[in-house]
Amino acid sequence: MIEIPPERLPEGTLRAVIEEYILREGTDYGNQEVNLENKISQVRRQLNGGDIVITFDPVTENCTLLTRHQLNRYQQEQLAAEQG
């Protein structure tokens, strides 16, 4: 899995990745309804802060967002599998 810095993506592509993630994941915002633009802004802040990362899996050819913790766990599992 490859981490892709957000600044490496054209703006339209970055927005499409964020929108796809939001619509697929169905984030829970409690009793309060949050519009798409606010959700996009929240995800951008998390990306800029390093809390979530954009990843590309060359095996499945999928691009998605993961938390930093999820990516670290995945990388540790891959390393453990390679070592035996």
For position 42, what pLDDT does the model report? 93
Enumerate domains of the chain plus CATH numbers.
2-83 (1.10.10.610)
CA 4 distance to own-chain centroid = 10
Query: What whole-number distance in Å separates Cα of residue 21 and Cα of residue 43?
Result: 9
For residue range 14-62, list pLDDT tens digits in order.
999 999 998 886 655 555 677 889 999 999 999 999 999 999 999 999 9
pTM of the model: 0.80
